[in-house]
C-alpha cells in the first residue's frame, strides 16, 4: 500500500478532505433547558393553533378573536384578522369552517387543514381567495382532518385521525396517495428533512409513530416514542435544520426535542403553559401556540428551523 504524501496526510489530520468530520456541516448544540424561558408574544386567540410564519416574519395563528378566523401578527406587533373562513366556505350542518394546522407554501400562500368541515385548503397570500384542494379520497369524504405539512417539492401531507389515515396531495397532477399500509393514529404530521421518514403524533396512544418512505410510499409503521409524562399527549411539531423534531404536548405544557429515527429525547423546554398545540421557527426563536392561555409564546433557542418551502420563515 502506498503511503500518503505529507500534504495529503496534513489534510487528513486537519479534516479538510470531503467526507471528513470537519468538512461536514456542524450541528448546533441544543441550549440547556434551564436557560430557556418562554416569553409571551401575543394573545387574543379563542383556541390558539397553527402557527405559521412567512419569510417576512408575519405570524399566522388560527381563531384570532373568534373561531373560524386566522389572525396575522406583523413583525411590528400589529394584529388583524387575515381571513374569516366563514365568509368563504359553507357550513356543513352544524359544522362551521375553521382551521387547525397551517403552513406556508413557496408562493406565500397558506396551506391549511380546514378541520371544521374536513378539507385541505389553500388561502391566497392576500387572504382574498380560498381554494379547496382535497375533500375526498377515492370517493370517500374526509372526516376528522387535523394537520398539514409540506415538503420542498410542494407536496402536502395531511393527517386524518377521524379515519386513521395519512395522505399526500401531489403538487404535480393534484392526485392523492394514502401513505399508511394499515390504520394509524395521527394528529401532528411531518416529513423528515431528508425525506426518509414520515412522523405522526398518535394522541390516543400518546406516542409518536414513524413510517419509512420508500419510492414515495409509507411502510413499516411503528412506534418512535411513547411520551414519558403521565399526562403528556403529543400534538403538532416541526423540525430544525439539523433534522431534530420539536414536539408540542397537548397536556404536558412542554416542548420535547427528539432525535429521529432513534426516538431519543434530547431536551425538554417549558412551553409557556398547558395545551401546547403546535410550533414554528423564525429567526432563531421557536414560537408555540398555547391554547390554555389563548396565546403564542416565544422560546429563544438560538436555532434555525428547517425551511420546508421557499415561502416559510425559519
- Successive 10-residue mean pLDDT values, the chain, 314 residues: 43 41 69 98 96 98 96 96 97 95 98 97 98 96 96 97 96 97 96 98 96 96 94 95 97 95 98 96 98 97 98 97
The verdict on residue 245 lying in a domain is yes
Residue-level pLDDT at 19: 42
Starting from the edge strand earliest in sequence, which strands make up the sheet with 265-270, in order?
A: 234-239, 245-249, 254-258, 265-270
**Phi, psi of 24, deg, nearest 5:** -80, 160
Residue-level pLDDT at 24: 52
The verdict on residue 313 lying in a domain is no
The verdict on residue 305 lying in a domain is no
Residue-level pLDDT at 5: 45
Residue-level pLDDT at 25: 65
The verdict on residue 166 lying in a domain is yes
pTM for the full model? 0.91
Residue whose cell numbers read 405522526: 200
Residue-level pLDDT at 231: 82
Contact 209, 186 (CB under 8 A): yes
In CATH, what number is assigned to the domain containing residue 246?
2.120.10.30
Q: What residues make up the domain containing 113?
A: 40-299
Contact 14, 40 (CB under 8 A): no
DSSP state letters, 163-178: GTEEEEE-TTT--EEE
The verdict on residue 293 lying in a domain is yes
- For 131, what's the count of Cα atoms within 13 Å in the CB-facing half-sphere? 9
Residue-level pLDDT at 18: 43
Helix (H) or strand (E) run with residue 53 in it:
strand 45-53
Q: Which three cell numbers stand for residue 75?
A: 413583525
Q: Which of 163, 170, 169, 168 is nearest to 186 (CA)?
A: 163
The verdict on residue 307 lying in a domain is no
How many structural domains does the chain have?
1
The verdict on residue 32 lying in a domain is no
The verdict on residue 3 lying in a domain is no
Q: Which three cell numbers stand for residue 66?
A: 373568534
Amino acid at each position: 500500500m502506498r503511503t500518503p504524501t505529507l500534504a495529503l496526510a496534513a489534510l487528513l489530520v486537519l479534516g479538510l478532505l470531503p467526507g471528513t468530520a470537519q468538512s461536514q456541516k456542524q450541528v448546533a448544540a441544543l441550549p440547556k433547558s434551564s436557560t430557556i424561558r418562554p416569553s409571551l408574544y401575543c394573545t387574543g386567540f379563542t383556541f390558539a393553533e397553527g402557527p405559521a410564519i412567512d419569510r417576512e416574519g408575519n405570524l399566522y395563528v388560527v381563531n384570532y378573536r373568534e373561531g373560524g378566523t386566522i389572525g396575522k401578527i406583523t413583525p411590528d406587533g400589529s394584529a388583524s384578522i387575515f381571513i374569516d373562513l366563514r365568509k368563504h366556505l359553507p357550513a356543513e350542518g352544524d359544522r362551521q369552517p375553521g382551521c387547525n394546522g397551517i403552513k406556508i407554501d413557496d408562493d406565500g400562500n397558506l396551506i391549511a387543514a380546514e378541520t371544521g368541515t374536513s378539507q385541505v385548503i389553500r388561502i391566497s397570500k392576500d387572504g382574498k381567495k380560498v381554494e379547496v384542494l382535497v375533500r375526498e379520497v377515492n370517493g370517500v369524504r374526509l372526516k376528522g382532518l387535523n394537520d398539514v405539512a409540506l415538503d420542498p417539492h410542494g407536496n402536502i401531507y395531511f393527517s386524518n385521525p377521524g379515519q386513521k389515515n395519512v395522505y399526500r396531495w401531489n403538487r404535480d397532477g393534484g392526485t392523492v396517495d394514502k401513505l399508511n399500509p394499515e390504520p394509524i393514529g395521527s394528529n401532528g404530521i411531518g416529513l423528515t428533512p431528508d425525506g426518509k421518514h414520515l412522523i405522526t403524533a398518535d394522541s390516543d396512544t400518546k406516542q409518536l409513530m414513524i413510517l419509512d418512505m420508500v419510492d414515495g410510499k409509507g411502510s413499516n409503521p411503528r412506534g418512535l416514542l411513547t411520551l414519558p409524562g403521565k399526562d403528556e399527549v403529543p400534538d403538532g411539531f416541526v423540525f430544525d435544520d439539523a433534522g431534530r423534531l420539536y414536539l408540542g404536548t397537548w397536556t404536558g405544557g412542554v416542548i420535547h426535542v427528539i432525535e429521529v429515527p432513534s426516538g431519543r429525547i434530547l431536551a425538554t423546554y417549558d412551553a409557556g403553559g398547558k395545551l401546547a398545540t403546535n410550533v414554528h421557527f423564525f429567526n432563531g426563536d421557536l414560537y408555540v401556540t398555547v391554547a390554555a392561555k389563548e396565546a403564542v409564546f416565544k422560546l429563544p433557542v438560538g436555532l434555525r428551523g428547517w425551511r420546508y418551502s421557499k415561502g416559510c420563515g425559519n
